[in-house]
Amino acid sequence: MIRRFLTFFMAASAFGQANPILGEDTVKVSDHVWAIMGFPNIGIVVGSNATLVVDTGLGPRNGATIAKVAAKLAPNHKLYLTTTHFHPEHAAGEPGFPPDTILIRNKAQQDDMDKHGQELIATFSNRNAQQKELLAGVTLRAPDEIFDKEKTLDLGGGVTARLLWFGGAHTKGDELIFVDPDKTLISGDVVQNKVVPNISNDGGTPSSWIAVLDQIEKLGALHVLPDHSAIGDGSLVAKERAFIVDLRASALDLERQGVSAADAGTRLTAEFKTKYPDWPINSVANFVNSVYAEP
Ligand SMILES: [Zn+2]
Ligand SMILES: [Zn+2]
């Protein structure tokens, strides 16, 4: 009974029912990377003269908290901000950052935002009074810089952050951040720690997600900071890939046998709960639908 409740709670968290107010406590991920663990986890990469913040929290109040924490970790640094994708808990806190913050993101993500950014803010605002208040009056500004596939930021003291776009996965525009010399990957929703993958509307496809993971594996990450689950080591990348490959192959098998998408979702949810007992699986039905929908 308790396990059932926890499973439900953790699944609900991924959909925005978690506490959306970020605190000021940080945990150290690697030599130059800190995280505020919350909804979502925020990455803060500190070099000798510049700091990069990854993701904003839901609305300006959270953005301001993160900027304060970043300034405490490294006073008077030049401040860069990037976002892993356009969803409001990742990007809509931007107005809370100081006005001279340099906002950078990849083009595919900006395209997602131009198409669906305000629409998603409205959806999140309508969930409850707290989210409405946090997102009140948010307008999304244009980035100071847009890149296509890759941009390297030199943060000083030999610390660099590569901002990368490898293709669509959770969304079409998912950005990944790779920090050297730490070999730390800030993975957004693309590599998680035992979270059932989810492709949002107008996002990537199961095969494009696998192709993205193939490129991520070549980076050789030692540490992974996912945005909705616990920090892990580089093995999370292969685990994410293995889970998606397994779920995709299982769904395709049932599709070939003429099983409907709905029945396949039910059957595979039961099967994967047994097969992956340490994953808090609520349902794999959404991802199975994405496999059936793939051309
Ligand atoms: Zn998302
Ligand atoms: Zn997310």
Q: What is the spatial distance between Cα 26 and Cα 48, in angstroms, rounded to a whole number? A: 19
- Centre of ligand 1 to C-alpha 88, Å, is 8
CATH number at 211 reads 3.60.15.10
Closest ligand to C-alpha of residue 20 is 2
User: Which residue type, as a one-letter code, is found at position 87?
Assistant: H
Closest ligand to C-alpha of residue 18 is 2
- Centre of ligand 2 to C-alpha 89, Å, is 7
Residue 78 resides in a domain:
yes
- Centre of ligand 2 to C-alpha 76, Å, is 30
Residue pLDDT, tens place only, 271-280: 999 999 999 9
Buried b (16+ CB within 10 A) or exposed e, 213-239: beebeebebebbbbbbbebbebebbeb
Total domain count, the chain: 1
Q: Taking the CA of residue 267 as centre, how many other CA atoms within 13 Å lie in the half-sphere pointing to its CB?
A: 13
Closest ligand to C-alpha of residue 39 is 2
Residue 108 resides in a domain:
yes
Residue-level pLDDT at 11: 40
Residue-level pLDDT at 17: 57
- Centre of ligand 1 to C-alpha 85, Å, is 7
- Centre of ligand 2 to C-alpha 86, Å, is 9
- Centre of ligand 1 to C-alpha 111, Å, is 15
pTM: 0.94
- Centre of ligand 1 to C-alpha 268, Å, is 23
Residue 98 resides in a domain:
yes
- Centre of ligand 2 to C-alpha 90, Å, is 7
User: Which residue type, as a one-letter code, is found at position 68?
Assistant: K
Residue 183 resides in a domain:
yes
Residue-level pLDDT at 105: 98
- Centre of ligand 1 to C-alpha 170, Å, is 7
- Centre of ligand 2 to C-alpha 94, Å, is 16
Domain of residue 126: give its range. Answer: 2-234
Residue pLDDT, tens place only, 256-270: 999 999 999 999 999
Whats the size of the chain, residue-wise? 295
Residue 152 resides in a domain:
yes
- Centre of ligand 1 to C-alpha 174, Å, is 9
- Which residues of the chain, if any, have pLDDT below 50? 1-16
List CB contacts of 5: < 8 A, sequence separation 6 or more: none
Closest ligand to C-alpha of residue 174 is 1
Residue-level pLDDT at 6: 39
Burial (0-12, 13-18, 19+ Cβ within 10 Å), 212: buried
Residue 205 resides in a domain:
yes
- Centre of ligand 1 to C-alpha 253, Å, is 28
- Centre of ligand 1 to C-alpha 48, Å, is 31
Tell how many helices (H) and how many strands (E) occur in the chain.
Answer: 9, 13
- Centre of ligand 2 to C-alpha 132, Å, is 18
Q: What is the spatial distance between Cα 143 and Cα 94, in angstroms, rounded to a whole number? A: 10
Please give the angle made by the CA atoms of 144, 148 and 150, to the nearest 5 degrees. Answer: 95
Residue-level pLDDT at 2: 39
Residue 113 resides in a domain:
yes
Residue 268 resides in a domain:
no
List CB contacts of 102: < 8 A, sequence separation 6 or more: 78, 79, 80, 81, 144, 145
